Every structure is written in structure tokens, then in C-alpha cells.
Structure 1
Amino acid sequence: MNNKSVTLKASEETRSTIKKNYIQYASPFKGEYIIFKALKNGLIITAYENKKGEFFKIIFSGNHALEEALKYDVNATYNIPKKVVVEKWLDEGPQIGSDEVGVGDLLLPMIVVSAYVSKEDVIELKRLGIHDSKKMSDETILKIGPLLCQKFAFSKLTLPNAKMSDEVLKGENLNTLKAKMHNRALLNLKKKFPIVKNIYIDQFVSENTYYKYLKNEKEILSDLVFKTKGESSFPSIALA
């Protein structure tokens, strides 16, 4: 069971809507200030009375807590326990990073995304629980994906499966295609944020081999930092 929780400050209207939507899962409760509690497949919703006359506090905890909370507040994020030290990335300053998906999957396109992260963005990424997408549920990714696209700057390149197959049949190396897409995606953001010095890439080949793949490109972004499993080391790669 997921132990993370999300706290919402809800108006009377939102509180009523939440209670209506989960009334069939209502559960007995104890507590001086609790006014409603529901249990749904490992998800716990607890509503507290409005003591100060402003907002009701509603806590979503357990399975799919963030996904459910986002239905009522698009800015909902995981609570960060005060006594828990949040795992730190190797660099939490302004940066650009890139990663890819779809490589090796015959049914999906190859997609490369680069993302820009400021120092302030790192705080938000931690609040959203983003560190390594491989450790996040599909439901969470699908829910917060649109929010990330609105809040953060990124460049996305897609190579359709048919085009990728054609290139391979012509003798093109998949890693060459990947390197060219990473280079272009990173260049796109570097031009938008020219003062950014730290640029990271999730390493899939050696640095020398990567640049060999790009030898015929008109523009090549150099001075990259290559890191295997980079999503665990740099927030820009984790976001990408």
C-alpha cells in the first residue's frame, strides 16, 4: 500500500462533491474533528471540520491518493513528511536534461524529450513525487503528465515506428537515430535558455561513440554530462 498522502484545502462546495462521490464507501470513524471518512480499494479519504471558517481539510492517503486528489485540485501534490529527508539529486540547480522511450519496442515510436528545470522547479518536482518514472505507477504518470506539460518547458521529438523501420532497413543504427534526436531536443531548449550551463543526458552509449554518431550533423551540442540511470541523479532527466 502506498503510504504517501495528499492534503487539500477544500471549499464547502468541493467538500460536498467529494462526500457525494465517495458516500458509497463511507466508513465509521473516530476523531474529534473528523466529519467524513471513506475507504475505497486501499484509498482513504478523511475530511476534517472547518475550524477557522475558511477551508475544509481533506486528506487522501493510500492507493492512488494523488490521482484521486487531482480530480478536485489540479495543483494537488504529495505531502512531504517533515521528518523524512527527501532524496537529493546530484545537481539541483538550473539545468537541461533528456531521456527517451520506445527504443526496442516494435509497436511504439521512439520519443526523446528534453526538459528545463530551474532551482525553484526542483522543489515542485519533489512535491509531485517525481524522482524516477520507472518507480511511478502508470496511473500517476497519466494523471500528472498534463500538469507537467503545463508547468515545465520541454522539447519533444517523435520518430514514428514506420519511419524508424525504414531507417533501420536502410542500414541506420538505432543508437544513431537516438543520438540525433537527443542532440536536436537538447539544442531546442538550449536556444531557449542559453545561459544554462549544465546539460545532462541519460547515457545509452559512451561519450565518444555518441559524438561519432553526430559527426554529419550541422549543429552539435557539446559539453554534455553523460550519466547512466540519469533519472535518479538529475531532476531534468527525471522530468523528461
Structure 2
Amino acid sequence: QQLLRRHNLNNDFAAYIDNLKKQVKNFDSSLTISEKPLQYGVQLTVTGSDSKVVISVYNGKKGLKLVWGGSATELRSQLEAYLTGKTADTAAEMPPVCGNDYTLLRNCADFKGIWAGSDESGKGDFFGPLVVAAVLVDIAAAEKLVRLGVRDCKLINDKEVLRLAELIAEAAPVNSVLALKPEMYNFRYQQMRADGKNLNHLLSNGHIAVLSNVLRQCPQCNYALVDQFTASNDIRSSLQREFPEVNVVQQHRAEADIAVAAASVLARARFLAIMQELAAQVGRSELPKGGSDAATACARELLKELGRSALERLVKVHFANYKKI
């Protein structure tokens, strides 16, 4: 199983690199590309007539990361703008990841001012559910969310998340939230593993489901934005089978977009609510978040108190924390 998982991840990353090279050639067919391996990644050197650009692509535990090298030439700024979907003029001026803009889409030629964004919560938490959410907005709703202070949930505390979630539901009523509580999560994860798939496939299914739910309610929407969490997945192809007019954009740091930021808040709010529900079921005021030693210690106590079957209704059993106990 470990060899199969590594094989699948390597295939995904190789497909991502191949696609990246094709995009470079689409940008300018005269450019030459050389490739060399890095620890946990690949380095691409793109050479033009009078300059070169170095793109280091890393495939680590936290996902894909692109690091741009070489001199600050016109080729580099234009290529970076092309590959990230930003115009050359705005590439150097992108705001920090704060979820208060729609820069990632507004420069697209056929952007109609209506779009959907999706994000997830709970992926790295030993206790609790996996939650995926999507929010559909137009420019008026987006601007209202900005005024309300909506931004990526990782930049605000949980109290603020719960307050903003209610406001988002009012300002952007076309939204969808899907939660897999631990018992169903473990069942679905085992199904995926039996089919030679992994957590990224389960995540992809969640994004497809919530985005489909909001897109069905707004036929005018022609863009869906997803924070890119893996080198290759079937989100685009699956959505476009039902919604052929929708452009599906997968972008690193997509939480900079207000729709994705709003989705991240709704997903986090549902995650927090289910965590409280699970804690109450086992007589605790709260359960530890994340995958720390505190989470492992709490699970060990609950195993002694309640037994294995009860614990498996609280935690994600494929985590290393579970193997420790």
C-alpha cells in the first residue's frame, strides 16, 4: 500500500510537471526547457534569447510550492504572470493572502463578475470531520463580504469565524457545506484506499460536490476557483462534464480571493460546530484540534474510557496519531 501510494503521488507530480512545461511552450514555443531533480522536487530552467528563468517546484507534505529564481527580467515577470493567471502589471502588486480581493479572476477576458470558490477544513486534524464548502458571489456580494471583514479563516480566531459565518450566509446565500464526520470519513477513506486512491481523491470529490451544488443554482456563473492542494486531480474534468461553460481555475494561495476566503470560513465554522458536538457526546468540554501530542494523549485516554469503536467515531484512523496508540 505504501509503494502504491508513493507511485500515485509520483505520477501526479510528474503529470503536473509535464503540464507546466506544456504551458511554458504555449506561452512561447521558442523557449527551451531543461530539467533537473531536486530533493522533494524538480527544477526547470527556461531559457529565452537573452535571459533565463529558474522555476523550482517542490512536492512536500504541505503540498506544491513554486519558487521563482533568476534575474528580475521581463521574461520572468511575463512568464510568472502567464502561469499564475495574473497580468504582468499586477503580478508584482498582488496583495498578501488576506481574502479581501478578487484579483485572481478579474483580469480574465471572459470573466462575467459571478464566480464560485471552494475550500476545506479539518484535513490536518486528528479529531473531527473533514468539511468542504463552496460560496458563489457576484461583485456586489464580494464587496459586501470585504466590508464585513471576511478573509482566510487561518488569519482569524475561531470566535470571529463563527461570527462571520452567519454574515456570509446572509450576504452570499448561494453556498454549500459538506461535512464528513469521522465515522463516515473513515469508511470513505477505506473505500478510496481499496481502489488505489488517496486523501486527495476524497478531497477532490468534496470540492466537486459543493461546487456542483452552487453552480446548479446559477447558470450564469462561468468561473470556479479552487485552492490547489495537489499536482493533479479530476475536479476540472468532472465539473466540466456537467458545466461545460465553467472555467475551473486551480490556484495556489487561492484564499486571497474573497469567494474562497468565505468558503474557508463556512468550512471552519461547520468543523468547529461538529467538534463541539463530538466533545459533548463523550463528556468533554472540548477536543484537541490539529495533530499534536495533546491530541494523541486525549485519544489514548478516550480509548481507555470508551473503547476502540467509540474512539473511531471521533478520529481519523489513518493518521499517525492513531497508530501510536
Name the residue aligned to 1:202: 227
Instruction: Tell me the alpha carbon deviations over residues 39-60 of structure 1, each in whole angstroms, 9 at most, x when there is no partner.
Output: xxxxxxxxxxxxxxxxxxxxxx
**How far does residue 145 in structure 1 lie from its aligned partner after superposition?**
1.5
Name the residue aligned to 1:227: 251
Do the aligned residues in 1 keep the contact of 2:101 with 2:258 (CA within 8 Å)?
Answer: no
Amino acid at match of 1:122: A
Matches within 5 A, 1:1-240: 88-90=101-103, 91=105, 93-152=113-172, 153-170=174-191, 171=193, 172-206=197-231, 209-211=232-234, 223-232=247-256, 234-240=257-263
After superposing on structure 2, the runs of 4+ consecutive aligned residues of structure 1 that deviate more than 6 Å are 212-215
Amino acid at match of 1:168: Y
Shifted more, 182-191 versus 143-152: the winner is 143-152
Amino acid at match of 1:89: Y
Amino acid at match of 1:106: F
Identity %: 25
**Structure 1 SS opposite 2:126:** coil
Distance 1:177 1:213, change over 3 A: farther
- Structure possessing the higher radius of gyration over alpha carbons: 1
User: Where does structure 1 lack aligned partners over 5 or more consecutive residues?
Assistant: 1-85
Taking structure 2 as the reference length, what is the TM-score of the superposition?
0.42
**How far does residue 218 in structure 1 lie from its aligned partner after superposition?**
11
Distance 1:213 1:199, change over 3 A: closer
Q: Distance in 2 between matches of 1:144 and 1:185?
A: 20
**Structure 2 SS opposite 1:149:** helix
**Structure 1 SS opposite 2:207:** helix
Taking structure 1 as the reference length, what is the TM-score of the superposition?
0.56
Do the aligned residues in 1 keep the contact of 2:122 with 2:131 (CA within 8 Å)?
Answer: yes
Distance 1:221 1:211, change over 3 A: farther
What is the aligned-residue RMSD (CA, Å)? 2.7
Amino acid at match of 1:236: A
Q: Distance in 2 between matches of 1:100 and 1:220?
A: 22
Q: Distance in 1 between matches of 2:254 and 2:236?
A: 20
Distance 1:212 1:226, change over 3 A: closer
User: Where does structure 2 lack aligned partners over 5 or more consecutive residues?
Assistant: 1-98, 107-112, 264-325
Q: Distance in 2 between matches of 1:141 and 1:221?
A: 31
Do the aligned residues in 2 keep the contact of 1:179 with 1:210 (CA within 8 Å)?
Answer: yes
Amino acid at match of 1:128: L
Do the aligned residues in 2 keep the contact of 1:214 with 1:220 (CA within 8 Å)?
Answer: no
**Structure 2 SS opposite 1:105:** coil
